[in-house]
Amino acid sequence: GAGVSQTPSNKVTEKGKYVELRCDPISGHTALYWYRQSLGQGPEFLIYFQGTGAADDSGLPNDRFFAVRPEGSVSTLKIQRTERGDSAVYLCASSSYRGYEQYFGPGTRLTVT
């Protein structure tokens, strides 16, 4: 079947705007993770969903960042009042259960001008 998909692949926005990034996990995967990867760095954990609930959101940098997964499948990462420092590649990964092998999406490259 299809792997993890993320849309859009690229997003350019102006400072102060609101953006939504979407992740479609592998069907049946209950665990979903969001990461942020800045240039020259490894993926940085943001939030983990088990089913519909955010089981761990300790990686979200501040209250401008929020994520939802209302039906336990598709997830949306929302960033309010974007700042230039938010520019990065946002990765989504899913797995059949927490701690198991994660399958990554291609990422969304966010550029805040």
Partner 1 sequence: AQRVTQPEKLLSVFKGAPVELKCNYSYSGSPELFWYVQYSRQRLQLLLRHISRESIKGFTADLNKGETSFHLKKPFAQEEDSAMYYCALSDSTGNQFYFGTGTSLTVIP
**Binding window for partner 1 (CB under 8 A); candidates: 9-17, 20-28, 79-87, 89-97:** 89-97
**Closest CB to partner 1 among residues 40, 70:** 40
User: 56: which strand partners?
Assistant: 48
Asked if residue 1 binds partner 1 (CB under 8 A), the reply is: no
Maximum alpha-carbon separation in the chain = 38
**Binding window for partner 1 (CB under 8 A); candidates: 9-17, 18-26, 37-45, 64-72:** 37-45
Note whether 111 and 87 are within 8 A (CB).
yes
Note whether 104 and 5 are within 8 A (CB).
no
Q: Which of 24, 29, 48, 86 binds partner 1 (CB under 8 A)?
A: 48
The alpha-carbon radius of gyration of the chain (Å, integer) is 13
User: CB of 56: closest distance to partner 1 in angstroms?
Assistant: 4
**Binding window for partner 1 (CB under 8 A); candidates: 7-15, 16-24, 48-56, 79-87:** 48-56
**Token pair of 111, please?**
């550029």
Residue 79 CB: number of other CB atoms within 10 A?
22
Give the count of residues interacting with partner 1 (CB under 8 A). 28
